[in-house]
A and B are shown apart, each in its own frame.
Chain A
Amino acid sequence: MREKIEAAAARYPDQRSAIMPALLIAQKEYGYLPGPVLEEVADILGVERIWVYELATFYTLFHTAPVGRFHLQLCDNVSCMLRRSEDLLGHLEAVLGIERGGTTPDGLFTLSTVECLGACEMAPVMQVGDDYLGNLDIARIDALLDRLRAAAEQATDADLAAAGSAGK
């Protein structure tokens, strides 16, 4: 992680600018950003710890608490809302047995609603890991969940990442 952060920091004349890239690197490494990780980032960059805390709690892509192995981020902004994203949210809550913001007891899924994903041409849209899944309906969501569950049963972390991509 240190090498990656130092390489990112070389792009800027001021180390403070590298905090956000460093947090993205750290989150990829650890899955989320607990206090000790924030302190490690501050120490690597040699910046004030409060600067790192400030950013980790301001930007919505940073998670200071754990999220499930698959983070289902459903867009419910206007363009997706007009194409009935709320039906999909209701369905996801029902089949996963959690409310938005929650994580399934097995730690497999976290369900969130997010502001515009910038893919309104394929609304309703959900982001799962690195991938966007568009033109969603209940059948496609059920198929995705089946795929992710099947992959999780026998998978290593690398397999899990690949399964997320397979949902595209």
Chain B
Amino acid sequence: MFEPVLLRNMEVPDGHLLATYEAGGGYQALAKALREHTPDEIIDLVKQSNLRGRGGAGFPTGMKWSFVPKRAGKPKYLCCNADEGEPGTFKDRLIMERDPHQLIEGMAISAYAIGAETAYVYIRGEYVLAIRRLEQAIAEAHAKGYLGTRILGSDFSFVVHIHCGAGAYICGEETAMLDSLEGKRAQPRLKPPFPAVEGLYASPTVINNVETLACVPHIVARGPGWFRGIGPEGSPGPKLYCLSGQVLKPGLYELPMGIPLRELVEDHAGGPPPGRKIKAVIPGGVSAPLIPERGLDVRMDFDSLAAAGSMLGSAGVIVIDDSTCMVKVATRIIEFFHHESCGKCTPCREGLNWVVKVLRRVEAGQGTPGDLEQLEALCKGIFGNTFCALGDGAAMGLRAALAHFEHEFVAHIKERRCPFH
């Protein structure tokens, strides 16, 4: 029987307070890490667990940590990516609002492992309650000696600062986040050098998502074998799934990695409203190509979804029923990417502007017979040719909508109207 760990305090009254967290065994993993393990041993534990980053890319966390040079001659930094701008995704907000100490403990252990004494939590500015709760939790942790100098009598010192974003999706891209933290417009950097070698203030920097860091105390407390025993071998562990859209029970669910998408949507989230059928599901936030209903038996893990032509991404699962126009969905997705393009590279900046104009025309019933070829050509010009993954996400999303629902685009053009209005 699967036992939720990441969400265990979600419904507990005052779950955001230190006393509640400690009562459930909180900060004992930090004490164990400092008492029983060297930093290298912690990195090894995380490697053995095969924890893959929960922000979207799924890169192995222990491996990322091991890229940090041992002797850099510069301070090392830990950055927590709490920007969470991917439409359909709200998991990190709830961790920070309801169980912020879980994140702080994870950050302290991670910082110990990589040798960082300073961390910044880059959190989107809209998340006012999460910011307030995290500030309170940091103050509590300081007062109790879980943060600060010589933590729990060890030689390890560590402070956490909050840095509020101000409304830019691109800040979730790790190098754009670093530029934003340095007080610049958030635009992605050329890699290499990778942040682990040259990141914030040109110092070695590890950037991890909130959910990734929240997994770390559990790996230390329960051991890597426990973590690896949940879900598939290639991408194990407990996973947070964000369910939204046209389902009866939208919400945040913690289940094993690798659960079938159909079970997630139909059993856990209650399926579509009465009388409606599922038409398609976006499995990992709007960057992830949608999956038509017939593909819902895919398993929700990095490798299975990649093999199915989509991706786990942020596990922001958006359910679309048969009352919805897919041209409208595609248009709204591309409008989002167009609005959020940072403007650094031409294919993304100009290409998405063009795509939006064509899609709006088609949706309004003013499309022309050549528009679908035009959209394909634009996707080809954008995909693989942009500075970061924002343009790729947009092109992949549109390609999937065109591939699976071409008939709806064609109907709009032929009938010169939206058949769903």
Contacts and interface: CB of A to CB of B under 8 A. Distances in A.
Interface of A: 11-21, 23-24, 47, 51, 54-55, 58-62, 76-79, 81-83, 114-123, 127, 130-132
A60 B161 CA distance: 23
Given A77-B87, A82-B320, 16 more contacts: A16-B184, A17-B163, A17-B183, A20-B180, A24-B164, A77-B332, A78-B282, A78-B286, A78-B318, A79-B88, A82-B329, A116-B89, A119-B90, A120-B88, A120-B318, A121-B242
B90 A20 contact: no
Interface stretch (B120-128, B291-299, B300-308, B404-412): B120-128
B251 interface: yes
Contact of A79 (B168, B245, B252, B328): B245
How many of chain B's residues touch chain A, expressed as a range? 35 or more
A17 B181 CA distance: 6
A42 B182 CA distance: 15
B90 A121 contact: yes
A115 B336 contact: yes
B90 A21 contact: no
Interface string B72-104: 000000000000111111101100000000000
Contact of B161 (A11, A58, A62, A121): A11
Contacts of A121: 90, 242-244, 250-252
30 contacts: A16-B183, A18-B183, A20-B166, A20-B183, A21-B163, A21-B164, A24-B166, A47-B183, A58-B185, A60-B166, A61-B167, A76-B332, A78-B245, A79-B87, A79-B245, A81-B329, A82-B324, A82-B329, A115-B339, A115-B340, A118-B124, A118-B126, A120-B89, A120-B242, A120-B244, A120-B250, A122-B250, A123-B245, A130-B129, A131-B128
Contacts, number: 141
B186 interface: yes
Contacts of B185: 54-55, 58
A76 to B, nearest CB: 8
- Nearest 6 CB-CB pairings of A with B: A59-B166, A16-B183, A120-B244, A60-B167, A61-B167, A116-B87
B183 A55 contact: yes
B169 interface: yes
Contacts of A55: 166, 183-185
